[in-house]
Amino acid sequence: SLLKTVAHFAQGISAWLWHSRAAQRRMSSTDPKKIAEVRDVHRLERIGAHSHIRGLGLDDALDARMVSQGMVGQNGARRAAGVILAMIQEEKIAGRAVLIAGQPGTGKTAIAMGMAKALGEDTPFTMLAGSEIFSMEMSKTEALTQAFRRSIGVRIREEAEIIEGEVVEIEIERPANGQVATFGKMTLKTTEMETMYDLGQKMIETIQKENIQAGDIITIDKSSGKISLLGRSFARSRDYDAMGPQTRFVQCPEGELQKRKEVVHTVNLHEIDVINSRQQGFLALFAGDTGEIKAEVREQIDAKVAEWREEGKADIVPGVLFIDEVHMLDIECFSFLNRALEADSSPIVIMATNRGITNIRGTDYKSPHGIPLDLLDRMLIISTQPYSTREIRKILDIRAEEEDVEMTEEAKELLCKIGTESTLRYAIHLITVANLVAMKRKAQEVDVQDIRKVYSLFVDVKRSTQFLIEYQQEFMFSEIAEADDEEGKDVEMK
């Protein structure tokens, strides 16, 4: 059935995660050089444009703190986003559109990322750039429909019989001829009882793959035979030095070994669509070959999910769809959004734009932010303001700490001045390159001379524009020169 297929898909994902964690634990106990390399790779992946964002930085009264969770300034915008966030978490709002509008470099995407972090992993959050839908091998409305359904979660509940306990002893009978072990025994215990279980070949292979040993807390799904490693028993915590730093300690289970447990899986509607519209099932999600999905499939799935809700087997979790650079959408996409926002199972749609009054793409009509007035009327609009010099300094301090760059106070002051006169993004980009210059001269921290060096090497938009104006005759297809020539001809004719 569809419910079992989705549940098995979620179980497959969790099993893959447990396999990777067990492999990392084995690696940490055997080869310290390899685990150091893995950490370095993870560290590089974490440093991004908004990797320092941990949340919106609000207190319990939804008032914005000056500096908190990586967020600086924009108190009004953050508080407005916090109100929307609270309503999403309480599941009191759905099918609404929010527009974050402001100048470039005023933290619009940072606010959206803060909302994503604050929502947590259970609430679906989908990020989409406005230009992405024009580069996909499908129609624009299909791309938007898939983005909408990725942002709607289905929390599926099912009861499963499991065996949960601490491993006391594992005995595996290995044949003398070197063949695969086919029989073994494992003793499990809780705080109240202890039982011995026979092991078959499949479970022996799983135990060896997961590196399960005495002192581990495990669960065994009776229906599928899947073994999940929960962690090490607190009774073995004195052996901590002999284990990896990722080792997780849990309490020894109480009560009986066999229990009925409610298992909750959270998947989104798009994943269910792909599973039921492709012959290869959920493997199509990993291949990326989802293609266009027929409307009939979606209608059947919506009817099935509605049936699950009535039976109490599932809940709908309205998530968030964030569309950055929304002015890149055309009139057809805006027309689709008008209808999609009025659907029963619609997520919260948050949009961001830095445009003023400009043409609606696909028409000759001008509109605020390049968005039709009828869609603007459906939106809650949050505006962002330019950062002050003090706020720019705080942001640069956070970014320098995130990128692990030591800087002198004079260098920070100069970088802050550059960010004020030019752009904040340009100043942030100079942090890493200035650190490379400082490392080249074997300095422990970035100084003023390093900032000046990279400032002369990499020009900002204003200096680049000035350079183009001064040397416009040397470049091809200069529109400024053509405009001057036309003005000269007009003067001659007069």
Q: What is the pLDDT along the chain (494 residues), one digit of tens a residue?
A: 555 555 555 555 555 545 555 555 544 444 444 434 443 333 334 566 677 777 788 888 878 788 777 788 888 888 888 888 888 777 667 678 889 998 888 888 888 888 888 887 778 888 888 888 886 677 888 888 888 888 888 888 877 788 888 888 888 887 777 777 778 888 888 888 888 888 888 888 888 887 888 888 888 887 777 788 888 887 776 655 455 666 778 888 888 888 887 777 788 888 888 888 765 555 555 555 567 788 888 888 888 888 888 888 888 888 888 898 898 998 999 998 888 888 877 888 889 999 989 999 888 899 999 899 988 988 888 898 888 888 888 888 888 888 888 888 898 899 999 988 888 888 888 888 898 988 888 888 888 898 999 999 998 888 888 888 888 777 776 666 555 555 555 545 54
Q: What's the sign of the alpha-carbon dihedral 473, 474, 477, 478?
A: negative
Backbone φ and ψ of 381, nearest 5°: -105, 125
Residue 29: what pLDDT?
45
What is the pTM for the complete model shown? 0.67
How many helices (H) and strands (E) in the chain? 17, 17
Backbone φ and ψ of 259, nearest 5°: -140, 160
What b/e string do you get for 123-159 counting C-beta neighbours within 10 Å, with b at 16 or more? bbbbbbebeebeeeeeeebbbbbbbbbbbbbbebeee
CB atoms within 10 A of CB 195: 15
Q: Report residue 143 CA to chain centroid gap.
A: 19
What b/e string do you get for 452-478 counting C-beta neighbours within 10 Å, with b at 16 or more? ebbbeeeebeeeeeeeeeeeeeeeeee
Distance CA 125, CA 421 (A): 35
Residue 190: what pLDDT?
87
Strand partners, 161: 260
Nearest Cα to 246, choosing from 268, 266, 229? 229
Contact 449, 437 (CB under 8 A): no
C-alpha dihedral, 236 to 241 to 246 to 250, nearest 10°: 20
Nearest Cα to 316, choosing from 340, 282, 344? 344
Distance CA 151, CA 271 (A): 11
Distance CA 385, CA 426 (A): 18
Structure tokens given for 186 = 């494992």
Q: Are strands 152-173 and 227-233 parallel, antiparallel or unpaired?
A: unpaired
Nearest Cα to 105, choosing from 396, 464, 368? 396
Distance CA 66, CA 73 (A): 6
Contact 360, 367 (CB under 8 A): yes
